[in-house]
Amino acid sequence: MDGGGAEGELTAQETALYDRQIRVWGVDAQKRLSKAHVLVCGMNGTTIEFCKNIVLAGVGSLSLIDDHMVTEDDLNANFLIPPDGSIYGGRSRAEVCCESLKDFNPMVRVSVEKGDPSLIDGEFLEKFDIVVVSGASLKTKLFINENCRKRSKRIAFYAIDCKDSCGEIFVDLQKHSYVQKKPGGETAQQELTYPSLQEAISVRWNNLPKKTAKLYFAMRVLENYELSEGRSPGETTLSDTAAVLSRRKDMCDKMSLSESQIPTALMERLLAAGKKEHPPVCAILGGILGQEVIKSISCKGDPIKNFFYFDAADGKGVMEDIPPPPPTAN
């Protein structure tokens, strides 16, 4: 959403229901939130935490895309799916999650959109202010991010993934203006320009700070291997360790980075994770994403620019500002 004022007034029912959060971020922010339209592609343990948070916060509408049929494996991290096969049997993840989310806040419009995210029509995205993608291939994430950038209005794009005890969030707000609160209560208008996902992952590794999160590099190796082998996210396992480590060496050689920056133990953890999500990590990532989306919609508070990493091994969350590669000389 742009930085203009929010139109329309909150109803008496909305004002009463959202009284506590209005006291935190103000009436204008709540009005913006109530007019915002969010699309989530991929229903898993991480995105359902996010969906729960923004539905409770009072987003205008939430649309879900995930045609995959619910399986028992989904019950491990997705608390929106009842542990009763007679309820979820033969139904898609989006359908079951949609039904559950409506109970959290009847004032929010929650609906299901059918289709393959990798084939989303650009005009379809015009309906939304926020697009969140999870569990998708790199090719699909790049495709959706590019289409968001081609629209006539600004559409904020987020990609979020949980690999057992590790997680990554990517943010592209394009050109984002917001109010920054300074010590002493004073405020200042700020503006940030974000690179696309393609630009952010095209930066040569030897041009990045030495303290760049090891997870940034490890995730690039994994997605590069999956893309080249035609694998869906999570299909690469420990049996592929030798091939993945060989890919790590090739990429490090090409990017002039020491392989020690991508520990073998970390790569093995990501491979062992497969499609498994660790619920406590899902809650952390989903909570942070919810907070970031509310910042984007309300245009208040410093947003993440442009990657966030969490690793339960040390319990730390790290933000990484990965700039676009410098323009090539003619």
Neighbours of 205 (CB within 10 A): 18
Beta strands at 307-311 and 166-172: parallel, antiparallel or unpaired: antiparallel
Structure tokens at 162: 């949980």
User: What does pLDDT average to over the chain?
Assistant: 93
Q: What is the structure's pLDDT at 111?
A: 97
Reported pTM: 0.94
> What is the CATH class of 12-199+276-320?
alpha beta
Question: Model confidence over 204-255: pLDDT tens digits?
Answer: 999 999 999 999 999 999 999 999 999 999 999 999 999 999 999 999 999 9
Q: Is the pLDDT of residue 182 over 60?
A: yes
DSSP SS3 for 200: helix
Mean pLDDT (whole number) for 88-94: 90
Question: Model confidence over 6-39: pLDDT tens digits?
Answer: 557 888 888 888 888 998 888 999 999 999 999 9
CATH 3.40.50.720, the chain: domain bounds: 12-199+276-320
Q: Is the pLDDT of residue 322 over 90?
A: yes
Q: How far is CA 64 from the centre of its chain?
A: 14
255 Ramachandran zone, left/alpha/beta (phi>0; psi -120 to 50): alpha
Question: Model confidence over 28-73: pLDDT tens digits?
Answer: 999 999 999 999 999 999 999 999 999 999 999 999 999 999 988 8
According to DSSP, residue 277 is labeled: B
Q: How confident is the model at residue 87 (pLDDT cuts 50, 70, 90)?
A: confident
Question: Model confidence over 106-128: pLDDT tens digits?
Answer: 999 999 999 999 999 888 999 99
Q: What is the structure's pLDDT at 327?
A: 73
Residues 6+ away with beta carbon under 8 Å from 256: 204, 205, 206
